[in-house]
Amino acid sequence: MQYTVAMKRVIAIANQKGGVGKTTTAVNLAASLAATRRRVLLMDLDPQGNATMGSGVDKSQLARSACEVLLGECELAQALVGVAQGGFMLLPANQDLTAAEVRLLTLPIGRETKLRIALAPKRDAFDVILIDCPPALNMLTVNALVAADSVLIPMQCEYYALEGLTALLDTVEQIRVAANPQLSIEGVLRTMFDPRNNLANEVSMQLTTHFGDKVFRTVIPRNIRLAEAPSFGKPALFHDRESRGALAYLALAGEMIRREDEAFAARAREALAKDSEFAAALAEDGPPVAVTAPEAQPARAADAAPAEAPPSNGAPDTPHEPAPEALPDTESHAAGPHETQAPQPQSHAYGEEHGNGADDDEAHHEPLGEASTGQEIGEVTRR
């Protein structure tokens, strides 16, 4: 069962000054991180092969090493060796790396990216990858810095270590500008620290003032168990897990995990704040208006029925009035300005001209009633 939150980082452990605890930190930090159920790979890029011997692997009996991987003569997976007393994988190295560095210097292009290219296929197979760099700013260290996400700097709290730190930071900045913009400082680790030494306390205070949170709170003390563990071919955690040195590297692993969790939580809060700002801006602007297709309009009454005749003499439209009441005498009312005389029935004129029979005279000479005359006048008026 693996740890739930993977770090997924490549960390180069570098300092061009020798004797500051790079190899000791690489081996014991790898074992401590593996104890937290993380998949750890330790890459030895030092031709001295101290990390290889400290992990219990004989550097003189290697079939494949970091030299063949850098030169592209074999895949990374083919050169890996499992460390039984440590719980991590190891890319071993020996003195052949010196020849590999010379051959890298003869390449016209791409010599600083050899390790990054070789590491790419197996990068996601591990949660943490640690690279033990040689004590020099040579092509091997440059390859490690180009392939890494961050740099962990172990240093002794002495004056010469401060000068070496300045040169290393300049190199890191040049690598960041030229080949690896994502390269950052993982942290500064104070090693072989003796609190009884006033100089050590003063240098430690200067580091904290200059680097701030980049200085790990964990301090690696001087401890005999850390010094003698490589002679047994095992990390101090498996040599004497109750020693101060072993407990210090366990505390360092826990601090790195806590930093990773805090950084993850900070990114989550930042993303949540951006979502909240977007939601607030959306609420101020109001909900989006849905655009729908226009519905079919019902047929109007005017389209179904014939339009009424416009009023005569250009008079404006007036509301519909009810029919006027019946007039007592149609002959006594003269037609108004908008009224016309009711036409006589044609059948009456036809009977007078042609003299029809009695039945026709009775049918056509029957006088109009008052009510019917009023209705006809009303209809003419409306027209």
Q: At what angle do helices 159-178 and 139-147 cross, to 10 degrees?
A: 60
Instruction: Return the amino acid letter for 123.
Output: R
pLDDT per residue over 76-91, tens digit each?
A: 999 999 998 889 999 9
Tell me the three state secondary structure of residue 215: strand
Pick 320 or 73 by higher pLDDT. Answer: 73
Pick 161 or 350 by higher pLDDT. Answer: 161
Kindly tell me if the per-residue pLDDT of 47 is higher than 70. Answer: yes
- The boundaries of every CATH 3.40.50.300 domain in the chain are 9-279
**Confidence class for position 290, pLDDT limits 50, 70, 90:** low
**Confidence class for position 352, pLDDT limits 50, 70, 90:** very low
Give the residue-averaged pLDDT of 47-63: 94
Q: At what angle do helices 159-178 and 198-211 cross, to 10 degrees?
A: 20
**Confidence class for position 132, pLDDT limits 50, 70, 90:** very high
Contact 59, 49 (CB under 8 A): yes
Per-residue CA distances from 314 to 41, 309, 318 (Å): 101, 12, 12
pLDDT exceeding 70 applies to what percent of the chain?
72
Per-residue CA distances from 1 to 57, 82, 85 (Å): 26, 18, 19
**Average pLDDT of every residue of the chain:** 80
Fold classified for 9-279? Rossmann fold (3.40.50)
